[in-house]
Amino acid sequence: SLPVTAFITAWGPLRREPIYGAVEAERGRMAAAGLLATYFALGAIGIFLGLAIGADLLVRIAPGAYADAAPLIPIIGLGFLLRGWFRVLRRSAKFPQRWLWYVWLCVAAGVVFVVACILLIPPLGTYGAALAVVAAFLAASIVMSLRSQLGREPIPFAYGRILGGVVIAAGCYAVAKALGGDGALAALVDVAALVAYPLLLAATGIVPRAHIAPLRSFAAAALPSRSPSANGRVKLDGLDGSQRAMLELLVRHRRPPQDVAPLIGVSRRELESRFVGALRHVGGVGTPSDGDAGIGAYLLSSAPVAVRDQLWRRLSAQGADALEVDALSLTLERLRRAPDQAWPR
């Protein structure tokens, strides 16, 4: 459930980022939502594959009392994944009274769960309870999908890519079970099958070649790095003393700009403009512009989300480049995560 929760939790903040606004402006809101939903589906298929293949290994790690629970693991996982898919549909869909539909479908899912438990637990035991969760969120997802896809603005799912992911996952599972044995060999085959899934997604074009580099960057950004190339040490060495001092105060020590400006002897607006100039140098992002002060105010703002959203809308209306602002934001985050030794003495 952790990857599903992380994806859903990150979706809201992601939609407020400049890069998401740029995608919506270029391709439309529904296209952006459809792309995210498609990647959620491909990721969910991969997680289910991992649970199905790795169930036996997980049971071996657990105490002996759980030895017979291997078939239960993927069913429980499927329930969590369907719950996540239901929430993805709610975020992606666009039709009148969407929230009301979501609330009532949650209630309906609860009713389906209770009825399914009554019908399935007596003959199936714990498997019946797990299947009841699957039935509840599957029913809710089907109704939400029908309401969305039969409306005026259906979600543009990449059905072919999702189906391709299912076929590849099924093939990986079949090969793993056909070649698997006992002991180390079985574990090696299972790992190979899991690794093959994303590789085959890329090799078959289900994940377009143009998406591979950004996905790799997103994965790398989620992990801390201490290498000079990752934390920007080389670029920091190219800054003059005043720029390094400014960055250390604003980024390393998280001092607010209204406190730093008097220390440096400039106005806050000038400080924010210089800050963006230093970020451009560190990240190799574009050239200085008249809007750098506004960009700096946005990047350094600690205001509530609603206020930051207004700042970005104002910048966007003034012609700020969303891709450039996103690159500056990533550079800032990279500096914030840099270890102390990354900063030149």
Task: Spell out the domain ranges in the chain.
Answer: 2-221, 228-342
Average pLDDT over residues 180-193: 78
Average pLDDT over residues 335-342: 76
pLDDT digits (tens, 9 = 90+) for 221-267: 555 555 544 444 445 667 778 888 888 889 888 899 999 899 888 89
Average pLDDT over residues 304-311: 78
pLDDT digits (tens, 9 = 90+) for 112-148: 999 999 999 999 998 999 999 999 999 999 999 999 9
Residues 288/324, Cβ–Cβ less than 8 Å? no
Q: How far apart are CA 13 and CA 122, in angstroms?
A: 44
- In degrees, rounded to 5, the angle at the alpha carbon of residue 124 between the alpha carbons of residues 119 and 128 is 60
- Residues 6 or more apart whose CB falls under 8 angstroms from that of 23 comprise 31, 32, 35
Location of structure tokens 């003393």: 241
Quickly state the pLDDT bin for 26 (edges 50, 70, 90).
low
Average pLDDT over residues 274-299: 88
**pLDDT top residue among 149 and 26:** 149
Quickly state the pLDDT bin for 188 (edges 50, 70, 90).
confident
Per mean pLDDT, which range of 12-26, 43-57, 90-104, 265-279 is the poorest?
12-26
